[in-house]
Structure 1
Amino acid sequence: MSIRNPSLPLPLIKGGKAEENYVGRFAPSPTGPLHFGSLITAVASYCDAKAQHGRWLVRIEDTDIPRIYPGSEAHILRSLDAFQFEPDGEILFQKDRLAIYEDVLEQLAEQGWVYACQCTRKMLGSNHIYAGTCRNLQLSFAQQAIRLKVTDTDICFEDRLQGRHCSNLQHDLGDFVLKRRDGIINYQLAVVVDDYLQGITDVVRGADLLDNTERQIWLGRVLGYPELRYLHLPLAMNDQGQKLSKQNLAQPLDLNQAPLLLQQALTALHQPPVVLDTPARMLQQAIAQWSIDAIPHTTQLQGSYA
């Protein structure tokens, strides 16, 4: 598949007017089994899409192949079944789409937006803002990282839950990597391209990804993609005050307890109570009474969810 003119929007997946107004997604990475924090994101993204008569898609973000945890993709699919989520389309796997991302990188190179970078982590040291060391060296792209140029521009967006968020990428980050030296496509590139190609209009995800958003907005603008709406959810924390994550050894979802866990996830999101029933019926009730205003307008949920 080739995307030769990214300034021309592709048609959205066929459907009604409501589908064109709202297309959401749940996009886990298979670096471990889903945990309670993952469930909160899945529930919120699903209910938000369905409450607005929109579509809800599932995408497995598995471009970082060395970090894929054995069996985690299968656990994600089993979890979707156990909680009776109903995606509105075929599940997409990013590892099957690497040629698409390479094609976009080629376009960016032709337009002068990217360059090869030979800097290693050791060379960069503790500097978290890239100084543009390789920007004008015109290095070969072979076996080098590929960075996207940024400009001295304030990028702002209104998060539906967290409010206004701004960043000047040149001052706060510098030119950032779209493809690593080892050939792995960076998350920022893959997510922007796939959100566009899937017709995504709304992103509901955890607040740990809030600081990625300006990078994704910038890349989308460079490519001529339409801007999205964002809602960043407060994070579930463990007893040590760390966000629930695979790296922090969060417990996998017990799929035999799906109704109870679903009820707990909705309670964590401060949603009105739902009757303990099959997950499908509970989700329908949650959709009918879904309220963004009820979700805490913070980046962390109170209490421990270990």
Structure 2
Amino acid sequence: MKHQSSRTAPAPGTRTRRTAGGGIMLTSGLAITLAAVLVPFYWLVVASTHSSGEIFGSPPPLLPGGHLAENLSGLQEAASFGKVVFNSLLIAAVYTVCAGLVCTFAGYAFAKYRFKGSGPLFGLLMLGLVIPSQVTLIPLFRMMADWQWLNTYQAVIMPNLALPFGIFLMRQSMAALPDELLDSGRMDGCGEFRLFLRVALPPMKPALAALAIFLFLFQWNDFIWPLIVLRDGAHYTIPVALAALQGVDDTDYGALLAGTAVAAIPMALVFLALQRHFVSGLLAGAVKE
């Protein structure tokens, strides 16, 4: 007699219903998450087209208004916002290029060269990931004052060039590059700097894109350090200028939100331009073969 199992296979219709139910739940969860992310940005854009009185009206505005030009004009008059945007773009662009070079060179050195003290030095560098940035504000301020760099662009750019996370990201990415590829280049007579440029750097494009996005957003959104070292409106960045618009008794929230909406545009453009490399760049070196 054949043994008959007490378990019976689920009917095809039951399996189909379970799959469909799981798909509906997943789609619903993604839709809720997307709404939670996009609704605040939508309201920001809508509110930037209304006056302060309309923004705090009941019910709050849900459709664009007609005060955008007035808000931008008030923003320019109160904060010279065109100059402020130029300052932020200049500082963020120069910082991204310079810090990208420093992090890439340092990551390559830690990944592909063995020198005395490299391990402890890298571990000491990684401590910067757990030390709050506020701890270094006073020493850095004293250093900038001693160098007479207060209220200058270089005071904002220089202190964070060797960013620990950027060096860690590039070190992990460079570690995935086969050593045999570099040895082959050396055997062909390629110098170390040319080896770095022609052999090591081209495969790192996804990691470089991820690094560029991170560095640009880090500097673009930085508020505390520029607030400390910049003294006049001619050198202000966008976060500092927007904070200066908030008065004790009166604040033009229409102009403030218009400035915030304008500040979000470069971040979105940078991310959209490099986003196809972003995920692969962050995952570079995460899996070892």
Q: Do these two structures clear the TM 0.5 threshold for a shared fold by scoring above it?
A: no
If the TM-score is normalised by the length of the shorter chain, which range does it land in?
under 0.3
* TM-score normalised by structure 1 residue count: 0.23
Computing the radius of gyration from Cα coordinates, the structure with the larger value is: 2
